[in-house]
Structure 1
Amino acid sequence: MTGKRPKTLAPVAFLILTAALLAGCSKGTPEPPSPGAAPIDSQLAVATFDTAWAIIYRTHFDTTFNGVDWVALKDSLRPEAQTAQTVGDLRRVISQMVATLGQSHFALIPEEASEAFNPYEEEDVGSEIGYIGIQFRQVGDQMVVVGVDEDGNVEAAGIRPGWVIVAVNGDSVADLLEGVRESDSRYSEDYRMWARVRGRLGGAPGDTVTLEVLDASDEELVLEVVLEPDARQPVKFGNLPTFFSDADAYQVSSDEYDVDVGVIWFNFWMSPLMKEIDGAIDEFRDADGIIIDLRGNAGGMGGMVLGLAGHFLDEKVILGTYKTRTLNLEMKANPRRVDTNSQRVTPYDGPVAILIDETSGSASELFSGGMQSIERARVFGKTSVGAVLPATMDRLPNGDVLYHAFAEFVTADGVTLEGQGVIPDQPVELTREELLAGGDPALDAAIRWIAEERAAASGTSQN
């Protein structure tokens, strides 16, 4: 088998989690007093709390508020908002309120985080954010490296897929795992562990991250990795801090299965990447199959899902429905009949596989769950995050931003993905042994399936 691996599986979580990481990264200099410690006027605190409560009361898609007595909750928490002494006190009260819903895409974004980076300023935003270039997933009780960026500092330090991360900056992974298992959450253990480790890898360019690792022979090493400036494409998404998007496309030629397969990976559903994705589809129109790799893709702009699906559908097929309190919005694929050179084409009709894992969320789940529900693609990997609520943002009186869901998503075959996630048609577990050997079990399984589909279509057998 020939080809190359994706440069990265995208070290991101939900957009909200990533925003917190970006806003909170250290620059290696003394930090000014936290804005959360600033005093707040009681009248402003109450107005901010009441506004946040009312926005959700008016716009939540479920009039039962997921089983929460929303009015009683206001009555119980409003006195705490009224007696809040600092901005931080108020934020804790509002965050507690939205967390009670137990649903994704509800969060309070501090004002300083929402305006951390201005996309209209002509500056090198990437120079503000450090990037480590390592990807990892939980395998059993271990946090195992699954990918290393080419030509980066992590690769230069000698770290390879299959190595085990034992500690980050002195924080033991085993202790983090114990803490995760002792806490209750709607999210999977694997996802929460990944997020906790990821949260300890932030910083500014030039900062040093100390990694304690086990190499391929289980020898324990302590390595220091200097964070690099983030050279990926900066993209602004609403009031959230700048995200860094990236995409990759490559062809895998399998001698074992006698197929040529195109693989497309990207880390966010962001419009600047669509041109690259469209170009990759054009490149692979004659391939035996196409694999869309959404491992590590946290989501983004849901509208992009319909455009990508249209590359594989010749009709306006409904992938699913957004259900708000007052209306239903059908999510119909937009068939793509013109290529990037403005030439007439027909959508790709060969086998399509989708790779997901415990870090695939939001728009990635809309796409994979929607394509799965109409049987246009086969999904491989691990169950996704289960965070599939479309959301919007509103500025509160104190300057903070309320990020809140306004609809739920139901697939074409009636499955609600929120809280459940997309369950792969073919579950594939990672093993350290396969990673050490240079394997990618989910990718290999998808290639084998494509070969079987091609063989069945031609009337031949595939061993």
Structure 2
Amino acid sequence: MKKMLIALLLVQLLGCAAVAPLPPGATLDAAQRAEAFDTVRHRVREQYVDPQLRGVDWDASAARLRPQALAAATDEQFWELLDRLTAELGDAHTQVLSPRRHAWWKAKQSLTLGLRVNEIAGELVVTGVAPGSDAERQGLKPGDAVQRIAGQPALDWWHATLADARKSSTPRAQLRSAARRLNAGDAGSTEPTLALDLEAGGQRRQHMLTRALLPDRPVMSSQLLPSGHGYLRLSAFDPDLAKRTPLGVALFDLRQAPGLVIDLRQNSGGSMAMATTLLTELFPRKVAVGKLLTRDGKPLTRLFGLFNVTGTELMTHGNAAPYGGAVVVLVDEGSASASELVAAALQGLGRAQVVGRTSCGCLLGVQGLIELPGGGALSFSQVDFALQGSPRIEGRGVVPDVAVPLDRAALQAGRDPDLEAAVALLGRLAARGPVAAKPLSAPTPAAAPMQPR
């Protein structure tokens, strides 16, 4: 099992041999552009998890976009076009990062205004504000309605941005592209500010927000709720979190609680090994979670096939002292990848119920970033998942057992209807006593391996 966990960690985090980035101010020459483009073209064609490339005529798409990319007026436009090639697959995990975005990724930083927004009842509403951001400093709060963006009606701007967003796994995944453009600007943009008109409490006000690089600080916290139920929050499956506080330690003071809320909202994923460790905390014995699916049905390898970095079975450890109470998992449209694996596995095995809104639908696995000439990077999917008792999550998402719509009035009042619904559900589930996993031995037909489309 230790080898399996190491393998899963490698699937998520390993990169390939480094390629020297360009010096500051330098530009890609024609040969470097061609090499970067052709590396992406060949790697995806030969190693993508689905040998049918999701029904896309990959070579035709590459032939169409290659002349445009090589003739792009700027390097940023080149990287944007190269990413558009990977977007043809409609896969949130398969993308090209420009050197600028790659550098931020390595530094665990994001260029942002600090805003999370969503459309609610015909309005574009602020649903979250990042700590330390200019949006927080200027007093923006969840529940504020955005009336105008850069002088345009907010919904017109938002719908146009969504329409232009890169093709991805689901419409919910495309929200990320729109949010990135709102927060970081267009590709290659040097404009540091954005004008927003807001409405709250019947009052209109204008803000000029400034973009800034903020650290991506993952959060893991645990507490007892006033109801007496436990609460565990994970904003990402980041191995650094587990190094500081192992999951077993985080759950230690909650083991006597009659119910447990696992909050995976806005958790975009991370280490599959950490996700498996969390599952292990909830089962008294080894449980078959599902299968890892690769292009040829064989384990992924490195070192010219001499070293396996995955098995094909996904299982929990045995656990002598698991948490045995009722469990509810919170998800939303920002829950993706490893967080979807946890939610879907617990739901499919009958170990938990899910509350919130349908998740991203972005459950594939990458082996690591491949660095490209000039400092860019390629990410592409090499693993799919067939989970016990669950339909395929990629392209669908985890559908909650209890759906809770976004509500502007609740946001303005500082309420958390998702958590309220989870606590109410736990009260009913905890009264039934301990919950055991379903005695499944193989993935259900609905979770069959990826088929060519």
Q: Could you say which TM-score interval applies, normalised by the shorter chain?
A: 0.7 to 0.9
- C-alpha change, 1:197 and 1:219, in structure 2 (3 Å) is farther
SS at match of 1:456: coil
Candidates 106, 109, 115, aligned match of 2:94? 106
The residue that corresponds to 2:118 in the other structure is 137
> Which amino acid in structure 1 is aligned with residue 363 of structure 2?
V
Aligned partners of 1:39 and 1:87 also within 8 Å: yes
Return the alpha-carbon distance in structure 1 between the equivalents of residues 111 and 72 of structure 2. 35
Where in structure 2 are the equivalents of 1:216-255 lying within 5 Å?
217-223=201-207, 230=214, 243-254=216-227
User: Greater relative contact order: 1 or 2 (C-alpha under 8 angstroms, separation 6 or more)?
Assistant: 2
Return the alpha-carbon distance in structure 1 between the equivalents of residues 295 and 171 of structure 2. 32
Aligned residues: 390
1:390 aligns with 2:371: no
Return the alpha-carbon distance in structure 2 between the equivalents of residues 410 and 92 of structure 1. 32
Candidates 376, 399, 407, aligned match of 2:383? 407
The residue that corresponds to 1:325 in the other structure is 295
Aligned partners of 1:294 and 1:354 also within 8 Å: yes
The residue that corresponds to 1:196 in the other structure is 178
Aligned-pair CA distance for 1:351? 0.8
Aligned partners of 2:222 and 2:251 also within 8 Å: no
Candidates 224, 229, 235, aligned match of 1:267? 235
Aligned partners of 1:265 and 1:294 also within 8 Å: yes
The residue that corresponds to 1:5 in the other structure is none
SS at match of 1:402: strand
Residue identity over aligned pairs, in percent, reads: 27
- C-alpha change, 1:310 and 1:195, in structure 2 (3 Å) is same
Per-residue Cα deviation, 1:115-162 (whole angstroms, up to 9, x for no partner): 35766xxxxx88xx7776665433232233345578987667554443
Aligned-pair CA distance for 1:267? 1.8
Return the alpha-carbon distance in structure 2 between the equivalents of residues 53 and 202 of structure 1. 27
The residue that corresponds to 1:290 in the other structure is 260
Aligned partners of 2:172 and 2:360 also within 8 Å: no
Structure 1 residues 43-52 or 262-271, which shifts more? 43-52
Return the alpha-carbon distance in structure 2 between the equivalents of residues 249 and 167 of structure 1. 38
Aligned-pair CA distance for 1:317? 1.4
Per-residue Cα deviation, 1:258-292 (whole angstroms, up to 9, x for no partner): xx112222222101112434433112111121111
- C-alpha change, 1:132 and 1:66, in structure 2 (3 Å) is closer
Per-residue Cα deviation, 1:221-246 (whole angstroms, up to 9, x for no partner): 2346677884xxx6xxxxxxxx3322
Where in structure 2 are the equivalents of 1:33-182 lying within 5 Å?
38-41=27-30, 43-80=31-68, 87-88=75-76, 90-116=78-104, 135-147=116-128, 157-168=138-149, 170=151, 172-180=153-161, 182=163
Aligned partners of 1:322 and 1:410 also within 8 Å: yes
- C-alpha change, 1:147 and 1:209, in structure 2 (3 Å) is same
> Which amino acid in structure 2 is aligned with residue 196 of structure 1?
A
Root mean square deviation of aligned Cα: 3.5
Return the alpha-carbon distance in structure 1 between the equivalents of residues 313 and 123 of structure 2. 42
Aligned-pair CA distance for 1:72? 3.9
> Which amino acid in structure 1 is aligned with residue 238 of structure 2?
M
SS at match of 1:244: coil
Aligned-pair CA distance for 1:400? 2.4
Aligned partners of 1:369 and 1:411 also within 8 Å: yes
- C-alpha change, 1:171 and 1:309, in structure 2 (3 Å) is farther
SS at match of 2:270: coil
The alignment's TM-score, normalised by the length of structure 1, stands at 0.73
> Which amino acid in structure 2 is aligned with residue 144 of structure 1?
V
SS at match of 1:415: coil
Per-residue Cα deviation, 1:414-455 (whole angstroms, up to 9, x for no partner): 521111111111111121223333322211111111100122
SS at match of 1:200: helix
Unaligned ranges ≥5, structure 1: 1-14, 16-31, 120-124, 235-242, 255-259, 338-345, 459-463
The residue that corresponds to 2:399 in the other structure is 423
Return the alpha-carbon distance in structure 2 between the equivalents of residues 306 and 383 of structure 1. 21
Aligned partners of 2:287 and 2:315 also within 8 Å: yes
Unaligned ranges ≥5, structure 2: 1-11, 13-22, 186-191, 299-311, 435-453
- C-alpha change, 1:360 and 1:80, in structure 2 (3 Å) is same
Aligned partners of 1:310 and 1:347 also within 8 Å: yes
- C-alpha change, 1:355 and 1:95, in structure 2 (3 Å) is same
- C-alpha change, 1:59 and 1:144, in structure 2 (3 Å) is same
Per-residue Cα deviation, 1:287-333 (whole angstroms, up to 9, x for no partner): 12111111111111122110011111122212222211123622212
Return the alpha-carbon distance in structure 1 between the equivalents of residues 291 and 360 of structure 2. 19
- C-alpha change, 1:171 and 1:299, in structure 2 (3 Å) is farther
Structure 1 residues 260-269 or 171-180, which shifts more? 171-180
Per-residue Cα deviation, 1:184-205 (whole angstroms, up to 9, x for no partner): 84465566456534543459xx
Return the alpha-carbon distance in structure 1 between the equivalents of residues 173 and 72 of structure 2. 33
Return the alpha-carbon distance in structure 2 between the equivalents of residues 177 and 264 of structure 1. 33
The residue that corresponds to 2:273 in the other structure is 303
The alignment's TM-score, normalised by the length of structure 2, stands at 0.75
Structure 1 residues 267-276 or 142-151, which shifts more? 142-151
- C-alpha change, 1:282 and 1:135, in structure 2 (3 Å) is farther
Aligned-pair CA distance for 1:382? 0.7
- C-alpha change, 1:397 and 1:155, in structure 2 (3 Å) is closer
Return the alpha-carbon distance in structure 2 between the equivalents of residues 134 and 117 of structure 1. 19
